[in-house]
A = this chain, B = another copy of it.
Amino acid sequence: MLILDMVRKHRPVSRAEIAKLIRMSPTSVGRIVNDLIEIGLVKETDQFSSGVGRKATMLDIDVQQILSVGVEVDRSVIQVGLVDLDGRVVAEQHHVIERTAGQPGIIAEKIAGMIIGLADTQGIAASKFIGVGIGIPGIMDTITGNVVFSAQMGWTNEPFAKMVEAIINLPVVLDNDLKVKALGESSIDAMSNKEITALISIGSGVGSALVMDGKIYRGANNIAGEIGHSTIDPNGKLCECGKRGCLQTYITDLAMLQEANQIKPVSSVNELFALMRAGEAWAHNIIDRACTYIAVTINNVVCTYNPDTIILTGDFIENHPEVFETVRSKSKAFIWEPFIGTFELIRSKHGEKSVMVGAAKLVLQQRLDRGLRHK
């Protein structure tokens, strides 16, 4: 990844120059460059280096000619994007799915069809795609490509990556949506990735993800960051998981709507916000408490991960502009003094595209790391 980034940034560039830039031995650089040439990511040019000493062949890369496919699958929508090596979405397509049509086989076929459709429309040969990355809510096994469990999709132990691979004949990797989202939000440049980015998402669920030095932190079973079921109060409200006082019983859409409906029928968080803006004190109480617990969550993520950046995202944040500043302001009361000034609290940069961008980046990383060319 590092060498690919060096070629991308300094092209045209010689093997020796790369070795100097990243302080790696010329032998190792040569070996990796040969691998990159073999899978078609890097090519030798007719140019030669102009410096002192033996003339060296320059390496180049055609950023737009090599594409990763990034896919987001959610309960209600499939998004497919063709993403270049600079992390730009060059073409994309969205498809609203019926909740009743959530079977993995149907979704896999739809994704494959969308990829082929996009390639046709854009006039891009399938040989230019290096692979497909997919972000899905739930617990994913990145080694087997299985969806272990996804409450949102209603899937358990589905070999989803293999289903898509069987149709499209490209390497397919999948991962948890928030993990790839954090990867998409972190810088595309491996050299500037000496950073620790935590992402916190609040919406229909609560979750977090951590990217360090440009890589997703997975933990032992790829379920690190599932803070929705961290315990706030051992005597608290019963969570749908059967435990008491989980964080998600305080700040998800469902938690807020359950409380609201004790007062009067409210069918959406948007409606709750409208009531708050209309001056309803009880609506303000519900939203205000959620904001307090989001601020608490920021402190707790800071205490455990000590990130330099926290991205606050999810529908609750994105759809209601006042929330971000309220939470930022509240968080000041909860941050322990040694952590003050150690991190930047920001919003999503890529917005709705970040899962696609991250999934595309993931498949690129995996092909480089695992040598998927030998598949």
Contact = CB atoms under 8 A, between A and B. Distances in A.
Interface of A: 25, 27-28, 31, 139, 148-149, 195-196, 208, 218-227, 229-234, 241-243, 246, 292-293, 295-296, 299-301, 303-308, 333-334, 336-339, 342-343
Counting chain B CB atoms within 10 Å of each CB, the highest count among A223, A295, A342 belongs to A223
A296 B246 CA distance: 10
Contacts of A336: 226, 229, 241, 243, 246
Nearest to A308: B220
Contact of A306 (B195, B223, B234, B300): B223
A218 B342 CA distance: 13
Contact of A234 (B195, B218, B293): B293
Contact of A27 (B27, B148, B226, B293): B27
Contact of A304 (B27, B234, B304, B308): B304
B307 A223 contact: no
Please name the 7 residue pairs, one residue from A and one from B, whose CB atoms are nearest each other, closest first. A219-B306, A224-B306, A229-B336, A220-B308, A230-B303, A230-B300, A231-B296
Given A219-B306, A221-B306, A232-B232, A241 B337 contact: yes
A300 B234 CA distance: 12
A338 B304 contact: no
B223 A149 contact: no
